[in-house]
Structure 1
């Protein structure tokens, strides 16, 4: 229950309160105000409704709830750990790099014991006494730094009053389950917990689950509860078998299937038998090896009542040959028979639209392709329409390069060698897509939009976005307010010595003239590095910071990155997260101050180099942040900002110059459906600013705006 409560608090910024008995004294009001004061110290506050409801509870209940709420929001912004730094005075008195290394080497050579350890043809920096490890405690750090000066610009995030835990969990459950966009791995874990909680109450489950990974998670719960499974393809059954085995329902990585109970085998084979049509068998070849392994666990020969299910495994073993629709399409395109390929693809409108660019470039039958696309838009999902819209609007102008991102957020670039598409063709298709999107959007009533939301990218996929605080989809733009920018990384190793290096690559407006801040260059005229740490043992781990005075920055592009120098990858460490803060120049405070945190999120990609976001100075001299959520493969060890400079600049340029589909475009379409009805739709960052009774869409619930 506590985990679900924390989930609601951190995902929706709402505090669920059940109908507890009323207080008989003013102790509840006193406890409520104490909680609000404690929350303000980490940049949160109770809404008026929440504070009033808390004040009517018994004081002991308020204290118990407050402990849980405070714990949840502190972890949300990264304040649940002790953030120490190598240079205790940071950002003041950061030494010159050469002087720092010369001083360490001098101290080593003057110490006979230490000097013996560094003898040899090469010098290992880790052998220098004290290097890369804290030389002071967190209490010592507290003594060095003055208290934070509170300013009006500090972040204050409002926590709203929620309903009962059951009601809040149900709302979050149905929102995630009904998402039209794929969810992040953490959201799938949350969805599984919510579905299990919901099943225990006997309440109804959502019947429409458009994303197949989400459907697999729900099918695990439905199978355990004896409910009918939601399957319409053979791959749905494969995903479910992976989930039941504790594996990956996205099928991105192989799963070792466990032994299934007889009842589970029958349920899986029954579901498989119901969808293993001749057309459905064409999908088996895509995951042939997985099907072979699954067949060894399901023993289909023991269940003659499911003959069509047995055929799936015959296709996987190659005993039965079935030509899938994809292979027939490829054969037609290879032979130059575009019209035939279009005819085959029309049976699957989404597949046709996903290949529209390719079809328009493969032959002289442009009219046939366009007419087929116009027919297909009514049968494709809203996410496919929006994704195609974004793709085609980027074909209107030549791109610096194409960027590719896989399911693990690993990214790479390639030159764009595609021939251009005619502008009149693009204009025609874009108009058709917009008209269909408008048709599907619900009536918003009166639409109220926070201007800061207009540059938020639509969440067409959340797989690469690890949930956290202040997170936005890849391609979103948001303002950076404050004179000092400070980003940070914290990590704690799970089993082996792990060294992460926080760095900043700085580029000019043409993505050249590189300069960097890292352990090899501790400071320049406007930026300082908090010092290199080479291990992060439990219980406190390690933290590194980079501080930048934005007004003095000589480069308009600043790219934070986290390099795995050695040890565990991000998804192997016990804990790893990145974030950034902003402050005014006159503010003092510790290196980490929770009320100045603007963004914080876990690092979990499989690459060795994390590129969370990029800071950009515009022609108006204002700074903005663009969200990347990318990882580079890097090297197995010893990654440094200097060695990935070219790859990073090419990749970031491709993202920065790409025209992402943003809330602005959707609002322009939605305005056409505004009515004078009494209901209101509010899009904004702050739910507390919405009128009473309005439908509220914040970044956390923006996926709900994607039409079905």
Structure 2
């Protein structure tokens, strides 16, 4: 378990916890240098400080740390699996699609066991590729594929991720637990699972000053319940979330949970907490209606009638069954708006500042006349100081995109990354109102931001979107929040996807759609179009019991369009949440580097594929006015068809979605840097030179070496800490 926690620390922080043991004579120096060399082969490196500290440890300790860390970083970059290709010397000698299919048919006709069935289908005018013996499965071993490729030639542009020295394992895991539990923005599913693991070991140790996100609180409460510690519950919904956590369900309450049988001590703990919450504030019964069915199912497991000493807990289930009236807050707001009482609705919403900010656009559109408009704006200004920083910034992003431009489209992305587009029929907000809203929101954000002292900023981070939700970022390496933009430099762009099925035959298809400046299709690369002017596809794999990989190689200088949209289509089998493992990534390299299809040193990004749809859109690439390319992060899933999804069939919906997304302007790090700038003692743009002498607040894509002690470091791994509470 200690090693599992160490794995989490390295993955989340790129810091290596160091054992407390010391040794004299520097016996670990040789092992440390070998460790560093092994790391460099997969695109990682020890910082000078970490190399020095490891050199002071015993050799056997360094070797043990090295073995564990290498396993961790290989998994981070996607090098923990074998990436084979269908065409053994890809990207060279990839055949024309129809020539390849004719070859597969010819081989099948030469096979006595399958010839009759193939002839029968061909007579009917049908070519079923999956019935051809030579199609869709590897025709050579992984070792034979390796032998067909030259060694990778190192280049200055290869990725090198630096690992820095950490404190003791206990110090590092505690710091990571406090960071995740106290995050002001919701964590993604993987980070939430990591928090559960950390909380189980830190429930009785130091705790964050506050746990503002309710989902995080549910995960921590489960660990505290197991440890016999006091629970952090102040709403009835907190109790429901805890019950979901105990049953392994969705603490976000988006999906129904099948509640498990609960032990008597756990039932007493839940009912006693529920009774205390309602006894202190009976009005909180109004929250029950929002999850009425879940409360009914939970009541069947808790048996509240067996505990008459907790009558207030029984009221919760009476409300869920409709035996007791408790109008919800939202229903009261809807009633007022239904009567046209905008002023009354605004006044009521001031008691729930977050809800007022979320409903502000609707209130402004419903306001009739100057009196109602002023009342809504006054209510908004009184509520802003009491809303969470995440809600304040979310509203700021919303307002800056409410321009009312003719033909504007609305893009909806739910919590799990499913996206759709529709026409924007809302009337525009008046420019004066938008300016007033932005000024109030910016002033409030500036008030909450801590004084940064000396602000040191890497300009490359300025166009990274603020992580207002961890669900807008997939887990992985080099992954940025949805809407972020980052430059792409290199001659060759190579996409890859890997999947391993759990129980059923599963076929994923990696494709790349090329669009022109008007979002019209130029071409695509997929199993139905193996080659194009732009590049080549590695070949279709249709079964992955031991895991399978597909690649697309693109020569950026040859791309005829303005946008490149890679996608992973589920053709058949298990979806992205059923398979044992699935991920996507891209590499950048120069032509003369050669190398294997998958080279970990050239991987710039690798993200897990875990979403609800059947078409995954991790990111897109757009050509800038200067002719250079940049990545635009999407992290989206389209519903797609139940089976046989292909790039040809979804290109129109992808183009419409991309057009709508690129029309939006996300709130980026630049926004907060601009707000912090006037409060900084100095602002320096990081150019790789020697850092200042005193502590700094550093914001960048990677932690630089040599920062003064006491510095605050914000990189994509912990950029959520930049969001004020």
- Counterpart residue number, 2:14: 13
Runs of 4 or more consecutive aligned structure 1 residues displaced over 4 Å after TM superposition: none
Q: State the Cα distance separating 1:206 from its structure 2 match.
A: 2.3
Query: Distance in 1 between the 2:231 and 2:31 partners?
Result: 47
Q: Please, what is the CA RMSD of the aligned residues? A: 1.3
Query: Distance in 2 between the 1:294 and 1:493 partners?
Result: 34
* Range that drifts further, 674-683 or 486-495: 674-683
Choose from 414, 432, 450 the match for 1:442.
450
- Counterpart residue number, 2:184: 180
Query: Distance in 1 between the 2:383 and 2:81 partners?
Result: 52
Q: State the Cα distance separating 1:27 from its structure 2 match.
A: 3.9
What TM-score does the superposition give when structure 2 sets the normalisation length? 0.95
- Counterpart residue number, 2:320: 316
Q: 1:246 to 1:446 in 2, by over 3 A?
A: same
- Counterpart residue number, 2:528: 520
Q: What secondary structure does 2:286 align onto? A: helix
- Counterpart residue number, 1:647: 653
Choose from 605, 609, 612 the match for 2:611.
605
Report whether the alignment pairs 1:164 with 2:168: yes
Report whether the alignment pairs 1:414 with 2:422: yes
Does the CA contact (< 8 Å) of 2:464 and 2:485 recur in 1? yes
- The aligned length equals 703
- Counterpart residue number, 1:84: 84
- Counterpart residue number, 2:716: 699
Does the CA contact (< 8 Å) of 1:47 and 1:688 recur in 2? no
- Counterpart residue number, 2:4: 3
- Counterpart residue number, 2:243: 241
Q: 1:384 to 1:690 in 2, by over 3 A?
A: farther
Query: Distance in 1 between the 2:24 and 2:552 partners?
Result: 48
Q: 1:397 to 1:682 in 2, by over 3 A?
A: farther
Q: State the Cα distance separating 1:127 from its structure 2 match.
A: 1.3
Query: Distance in 1 between the 2:40 and 2:209 partners?
Result: 41
Choose from 467, 490, 515 the match for 2:475.
467
Choose from 324, 329, 335 the match for 1:325.
329
Does the CA contact (< 8 Å) of 2:239 and 2:273 recur in 1? yes
Deviations 1:555-604 (A, max 9, x none): 11000000010000011001101000000121100000000000001111
- Counterpart residue number, 2:589: 583
Q: State the Cα distance separating 1:465 from its structure 2 match.
A: 2.3
Choose from 454, 460, 464 the match for 1:452.
460
Gaps spanning 5+ residues in structure 2: where? 683-692
Choose from 531, 545, 562 the match for 1:556.
562
Report whether the alignment pairs 1:144 with 2:152: no
Deviations 1:491-543 (A, max 9, x none): 011101000000011100111134211011111112210000000112xx100
- Counterpart residue number, 1:431: 439
Deviations 1:79-133 (A, max 9, x none): 0111000011111111111111122222222333331231233332111121011
Deviations 1:237-290 (A, max 9, x none): 000000011111111111111122222111111211122233211111111111
Report whether the alignment pairs 1:195 with 2:194: no
Deviations 1:595-647 (A, max 9, x none): 00000011110211100000111111110001000001111111111111111
Query: Distance in 2 between the 1:153 and 1:68 partners?
Result: 27
Q: State the Cα distance separating 1:463 from its structure 2 match.
A: 1.6
Does the CA contact (< 8 Å) of 2:47 and 2:705 recur in 1? no
Report whether the alignment pairs 1:98 with 2:87: no
- Counterpart residue number, 1:660: 666
Q: What secondary structure does 2:164 align onto? A: strand
Q: State the Cα distance separating 1:318 from its structure 2 match.
A: 0.5
Q: What secondary structure does 1:688 align onto? A: coil
Q: 1:38 to 1:628 in 2, by over 3 A?
A: same
Query: Distance in 2 between the 1:235 and 1:280 partners?
Result: 9
Query: Distance in 1 between the 2:661 and 2:7 partners?
Result: 34
> What are the residue-to-residue correspondences of 1:58-137 with 2, within 5 Å?
58-118=58-118, 119-120=120-121, 121=124, 122-137=126-141
Query: Distance in 1 between the 2:366 and 2:62 partners?
Result: 67
Deviations 1:346-390 (A, max 9, x none): 111111111111111012211111111111111100001000000
Does the CA contact (< 8 Å) of 1:160 and 1:688 recur in 2? no
Query: Distance in 2 between the 1:258 and 1:286 partners?
Result: 22
Q: What secondary structure does 1:283 align onto? A: helix
